[in-house]
Every structure is written in structure tokens, then in C-alpha cells.
Chain A
Amino acid sequence: MKKKYKVEVDCAACAAKMEDAAKKVDGVADASINFMAAKMTVEFEDGVDEIDTMKKVLKACKKVESDCSIEF
């Protein structure tokens, strides 16, 4: 299951950090951020709750980049 989310982030380097952080979250099979389009694509592992996982993703991202946001 792949889904796209709108993200808010100001610099390309921060987006790369968030991408790395999101990939390490449990339930996330893969994640990528397209900085210019301001879109995050998350591929979930089978059977995980998307909203729950996205909450964890946001938390992980906030840790590396405090003023980012993800709409989900």
C-alpha cells in the first residue's frame, strides 16, 4: 500500500533527513520525499494501520527537523 502526503519543509537537506528518519519507522517499507513537489510517498508494510504509522513517522521527522509538518 502506497500513499502520498503533503509535507511542509523548507530546505532540501532537511527533507533528506526526514526521509531517512521516516524509513526507519516500524511499519514503513519505504519512504521518499520529493522536496520540490512537497510530497512524501510512504509505502506501508502489509496490515499496518496507516494513521498510526503516520503519527510515528511525523514524530520521527519532528525529531530531526522540528519545524516540519505532514498532512494525513
Chain B
Amino acid sequence: MKAKHKKTIVRIVIASILTVALAFNPFNLEKEPLFFLYLIPYVIIGYDVLIKAVKGIRNLQAMDENFLMTVATLGAMALGFTYTGDYNEAVAVMIFYQIGELFQALAVEKSRTSITKLMEIRPDYALIEEDGELTEVDPDDVEVGTTIVVRPGDRVPIDGIIISGTSSLNTSALTGESIPKDVSEGDEILSGCINLSGVLKVRTTREFGDSTVSKILDMVENASGRKSRSEAFITKFAKAYTPFVVASAVLVAVLPPLFLIIGGSDPEIQQWVYRALTFLVISCPCALVISVPLGFFAGLGGASREGILIKGSNYLEALAGTEIIVFDKTGTLTKGVFEVSEVRGTDIPEERMIELAALAESSSPHPIAGSLIAAYGKEIDRTRVTSVEDVPGMGVNATVDGIRVSVGNNRLMEKMGIQCDESDHLGTIVHVALDGSYAGSIVISDIVKEESKTAMEMLRSAGVKRTVMLTGDRDSVAMAVSEEVGVSEYRGNLLPGDKLLELEELMGESSERGKVVFVGDGINDAPSLVRSDVGITMGSIGSDAAIEASDVVIMDDDVRRVAVGIGISRKCMRIVNTNIIVTLIVKFGFLGLSLFGLVDMWLAILADVGVMIAAVLNSARALRYNSGIEGPKFQADADIE
């Protein structure tokens, strides 16, 4: 608790004691002198509100809660002075208002600290070696290409490449992986990791602002900047609501007495003014203004604890309305680790086939290239490969040792007019042609992630209507995988461009309010990520393009977290909607009752502060979500042990 808040508590206590004492009227004073005694607790508890109200008027921003409270309490004091002699209400309203404000400030502070834990992965300094001495500098000032030193126990401040030293890294803040990763000279190193054992010298490859850790923090910090519809509604509502209530209060104070005078009876001015003042007390929109953003903030924070970074509350809102989820197969439902399982239909030796295919594919970023190279198992001599021609969605043509090697799927073979062996073998089939004649095929199979099946069940029970798998693989492979995983539909045989068309078709089929979510690994699927209502990438921390294109980033590659994210967003939206509805019912209910004189100022302020406290406590629930997934939590305090 800050000094400011402690001071408020002291003020609340002193003002309360004084007010209670004065309520007994120990000096048996008339109402006029009593007024001046009551001014003491009133000023003690309310001076800052009064000052802010005056400033608000001077800055032409009068219609805020300080103004409302000032008019209501000063009005009540004036009524006491002229008619009733009761000043307790005015001071009590101010006291309860301050209690409410204090509570609100504490609640905001508490959820801030529990969420900013994640932000503790921010490195404070970078170490630079100068003339044999280490100096700490602001990571912002380190230029690309500078050599920095990372000692054991330090957090890597900036992305770079290790130029000397070996060590193991704790990457759990980035990937959730708890097993340390061994690194040595030449390895790429991402900021945010913790160096565990040896001293490393790192040549930076990015500025601090572009480094992984900054990107993640930016995402978390800017998340509450993107407003959801509910938040936009509340902001608009609060803007219109306060002037509306003030105008109504003026009407309540003026119109009925006017009619009564015309009707020839007692205008009861005092009573109507009192009702108008009560109106003002109830009207304070604090409960909504604070609880709705707090609810979203807690929801975003709860998600980031689960390793799900959501770029804004608008995406949280959209995620709650998920109707169709589209998965890119490779890397999301499957491990994306391909292994060569068979070489078939060839007269040349298996090793030679794999060698030629691996060399031809050696410059391709496609996962299949990686598995061919892994199966080859020897150093790739790039000088043996010339005139590489990439055929998107089909394969590669390259000249290896003077032989024109074509490696790719059956479409590539068809395009080149080569007859190839169509087989229904499960797995990805890579056909190889040498100098234009068919040489055989290599079968590569991908492994389905263990958690994919559970994830689909979780999604179904969360009420997601359709789960669709998209893949460039042949129909037979797509069918086998879709059955194993348990998606409701699949589309196979797609070229990269087709995936976007399929997605758009599905978006056309979804209901008006239903959202279509696309889940991919961030490689080659940026258009789909951007086009979908919510684009989710998994396990792609360190890839700028993926983080840029997606709306939600799942830090590890556990596909169950997609379902957890939807669960969190649904819970959060339930909480926010409950808060909005309950608050509005209470507010308008009390406004109506006060019109008929059924509510006095005491009840009005209690209802106002009460509903605010209830809404804030309710909002804080959005932070807690039991995902049922064991394993690492993405919090900074979990990784420093």
C-alpha cells in the first residue's frame, strides 16, 4: 500500500470519529453553529474531491464524479443549514465515496502487481566489455553488432549470436520448456532466457526494441489498449450518462415544485432538492468505468499466465464467440517433425537417393527439407548444388553433381509430365526424378501430437461447433490424421493459396456473430492468420513475422491451450456482462426509487459503493482459471530458482 492510500485511511478514520461524535450534538448547538463544526470532518475527508471539482470546471471538463460528489454533498450541507439541521448525510456520503475510491485503487494495484510479474522478464541492463572491464549500460543504447557479455544468472537482454562460450539456458519464460537448452558458439540466443552456467559473449543481431523480450512485453503492455466492444460501449455510456443524470436531477428539483405551485399547493422545494441530490449520488458511473476494463485486464493476465498472449481485449471478446476453428495440420496438430520412413521403387541405392534429394532441398525452409537433410546425416556441401528453382506448393528442381534433380509431390511430376507411382501409403510422399525420368519416392511421416485429441474434446465441450483441419497433404493422409485427432472435418490436397480460400469459405458459412479462428505455426500462413477473426500462432516465439501477423500467440506448442484460451475468454466475458447488467439494474432501479422518495442519501451511497466493490471483486475472478494443464506456468517468478 502506498503512502497516499495510508493517508486516505487516516482521513477516513478521523472524519468518521468526528462525525459520529457530532451526531450526538454534545454541545447542544443550534443548526447554524453546528454547520461550522461539521465543516471540519467534511473538509478533512473531501478537500481533494472539492479541489478536483474546481479544477475540472476550470479545465472545462466538469462532468466527472468529483463534480457530482461535490454538488451532492454541498447541496446536502446547504439543506441542513437552511432546513433540517442534519449534516451527517453529507459527510457520510463523502466518507463512503472515499472508501470506494480507496478500494478501487487498491484493487487495481493488486491486479497490476499480479500481472506485471510476467513483465519482470524485462532485462534492466546489458553488460559491455570495455578495456577489460565490464560496464552496465541501458539495453536501449546497445547498437546492432555490439558484443555483450552474459554472466551466469543474468537474463539475456538482446537477441544475438554466441561468439564464445558454452552454457545452458533456461528458456521457460519464452517457451514454457523447463529443460535447460544447451548452447555453444554459433548458436542463436533469444533475449528473455536466463543464462545458467557459463559466461557467454554474444554479438547482438537486433536492437533492444526489436528483440524477442521487448516484442513479448509490448504485446502484453499494449493489450489493454485495443478496446473491446464492451469497453467502447462503457466509455460512450459514461460520457452520455453523467450529463443525462445531471440534467434529470435539475428537472427533478425544478419541475415538480413548479407544477405544485401552479396547482396551488405547497411546492415542497426542500424535498425535491433532496431527491435531486440523491439522484446525483447514485449516478456516479464508477462501478462500470472501473470494473469492465479491470475484468478484461484480469482476463488477459490470466491468459498470459497460461502462456497465451492475447493482443487485445477485442480479440478476447472475439475468442469467446468462437464457432469454427481451423487448424493448419503441420506443426499444430502434428509435431511438424518429419522422418524418412521408407524409400521405394528405385534401382539406385537408398543412400544415393536421399543424398541427391537432401542436396536439392538443402536451401528450402520447408520441414520436409529438414527431414531429408536429417536422414542424409552428413555435412551439406552447397557447392555441389546449382540453379535451384523453387516451385511453390510442389517442390524443387536443382542441379546436383551435374544431374537435374526434381524433388516434390505428384503435382510436380504431373507438371513435368513424368509418370509417377500413386500409392496410398500413409505419410508424405516425395517423388524424385533424375534428369526428367522417374527414379522413385521417399516416404516421410509426421507424428500427431499426443495432446491434439484431448484438445479437440476440450473444444467440443467448450461448445465449438466445427473443428476443421487444412493440409497440403494427400486426402488419404489428411483422412488418417483427422480420424486420429478427432477433428470434425478436413480439407486435403490444398496449395498454400487454397488454404486462404477454404478459410474464407468457412467464414462465409459461419453465423453472423460466430467467429472463425485460425490456428497455425506462423510459417507460410500469415494471410490466413490476418484474414481470420482471430489468428493464433503456436510455438513461434522468436519469429517476428508470426508474432506480427497473429492476434494471439501461444508460447509453447501445446494445442490444448487453444481450448484454454477460449475457456478464459468465455469466463471473462461472462464476468464482464454480469457486471454491466447488475450495475445497470441497480443504478436505474435506485434512480427510479429515489424519484419517489423511497431512497435516502445513505442508501444511495451504500448502493453505489456496494455495487462497485462487488463488481471489482467479480472482475478479479477473471484472473484465475484452472486449465488442468500441468507443467510450466509462464511467470517470471517461476523461472528464477
Contact = CB atoms under 8 A, between A and B. Distances in A.
Interface of A: 4, 10-13, 17, 32, 34-39, 63-64, 66-67
B51 interface: yes
B221 A34 contact: yes
Interface string B496-516: 000000000000000000000
Nearest to B116: A37
A28 to B, nearest CB: 17
A34 B104 contact: no
A10 B64 contact: no
Contacts of A10: 101, 104-105, 108
Given A12-B289, A12-B290, A34 B108 contact: no
Contacts of A12: 289-290, 293
A36 B224 contact: yes
A17 B4 CA distance: 20
Nearest to B238: A13
B225 interface: yes
A34 B524 CA distance: 33
B178 interface: no
A35 B297 CA distance: 10
A63 B112 CA distance: 26
Interface string B78-112: 00000000000000000000000100110010011
B143 to A, nearest CB: 16
Given A12-B290, A36-B293, A38-B112, A66 B222 contact: no
Given A32-B225, A34-B225, A64 B59 contact: yes
Contacts of A39: 221
A36 B112 contact: yes
Given A64-B61, A67-B48, 4 more contacts: A13-B64, A32-B225, A37-B112, A66-B52
B104 A66 contact: no
A34 B222 contact: yes
B65 interface: yes
B541 interface: no
A63 B101 CA distance: 21
A66 B224 contact: no
B286 to A, nearest CB: 8
23 contacts: A4-B221, A10-B104, A11-B105, A12-B289, A12-B293, A13-B64, A13-B65, A13-B238, A17-B59, A17-B61, A34-B225, A35-B293, A36-B111, A36-B297, A37-B112, A37-B116, A37-B220, A37-B224, A63-B55, A64-B59, A66-B51, A67-B4, A67-B48
